[in-house]
Amino acid sequence: MRTEHAGTLVLIGGACSSHGHALRSFLEASNALNGGRVIGLTAASGEEAESTAYWNGVFASVGARNVEIPSFSRTVEGVDARVASMIDEADAVFLGGGDQVKLVTALSGTRTEKAICDLYTRGGVVGGTSAGAAAVTQLTMAGGEIDIEGNLVEQYIGPGLGLLGYDAIIDTHFSQRRRLQRLFLVVASNTHLFGLGIDEDTALVVRDGVGEVIGAGGVTFVDGRDTVRFDNAHDLETGRQLTLSHLRVGIVGTRYHLDLKARDVAELVSETPSPHRRDPDQAERVESHGPI
């Protein structure tokens, strides 16, 4: 696990607008609009050349000129060392979308992976969108959804890049692809995990263990540690639907903060009472006026 006083992570839930606040949060953190050097990696994509061309266009369109997106291969001699050397001299790394398992497999054990970790440890910025965001945790997830032929794809949980600790696991395109059920299943099966669902065009910007939500949507958190009273997550192969009781679930909106260590909205964790925090006594007096 990385220290709480390392660099900055900018984790985007996918489909980010080139001029939206989510991508701008990465540009600001990396100083990319003022000459900060960014190295991009599109190894998660099944069409790496097309993805490289796309992100080169995006960064050029917003005025980030000191951006390089080299082709990466762990099997071609000299490529790994060259890309690692580029990252050693960079201010930030940006990980494009695609398949997070493919990305982790490509980088695992390479000099490039070590260079990314070293950059983050020395205070640099690591950003990612979609698969690039999902890959930064100690464990990454995939599958667990119905494919285009109507078949359930087996749930996968395996090693990630390990930059973000706190037993967090990230799902992306969250509200748009209705992935709450998938995150419920992952946390019910692994109750120590802290599930984070990041909406599209939305960034969770993490510094010192606290993430700020920036962009068009929100971040949903699912916590099963010391809360789940019953679940049948390990019995679903018999055809039963997921049944569980007592997960902690919350939503963090734009410009609010999530304390990853405390697993709660940072405004609640702070010693200074937040003006947005509801008084428990007051909450008991509030009547319901319809569905929420």
CATH classification at residue 13 = 3.40.50.880
Residue 18 forms part of a structural domain: yes
To the nearest 10 degrees (0 to 180), the angle between helices 79-88 and 111-121 is: 10
Query: 40: which strand partners?
Result: 94
**Residue 33 CA, distance from chain mean position:** 23
Global confidence as pTM = 0.89
Provide DSSP, 80-120. Answer: HHHHHHHHHT-SEEEE--S-HHHHHHHHTTSHHHHHHHHHH
Residue 290 forms part of a structural domain: no
- What pLDDT, on the 0 to 100 scale, is given for residue 129? 98
Helix, strand, or coil (residue 12): strand
- Overall number of domains in the chain: 1
The contacts of residue 41 (CB under 8 Å, 6+ apart) are 69, 70, 72, 83, 93, 94, 95, 96, 103, 107, 112, 132
Domain that holds residue 92: 8-285
Residue 125 forms part of a structural domain: yes
- What pLDDT, on the 0 to 100 scale, is given for residue 284? 39
- What pLDDT, on the 0 to 100 scale, is given for residue 280? 42
Mean pLDDT, rounded, of the chain = 90
Residue 292 forms part of a structural domain: no
Residues 119, 7: Cα–Cα separation, whole Å: 8
Closest Cα partner for 7 from 118, 165, 135, 128?
118
Residues 22, 201 contacting (CB under 8 angstroms): yes
Residue 210 forms part of a structural domain: yes
Residue 237 forms part of a structural domain: yes
- What pLDDT, on the 0 to 100 scale, is given for residue 230? 83
Residue 291 forms part of a structural domain: no
**Residue bearing tokens 């734009």:** 254
Residue 3 forms part of a structural domain: no
Segments in the chain below pLDDT 50: 1-3, 274-275, 279-292
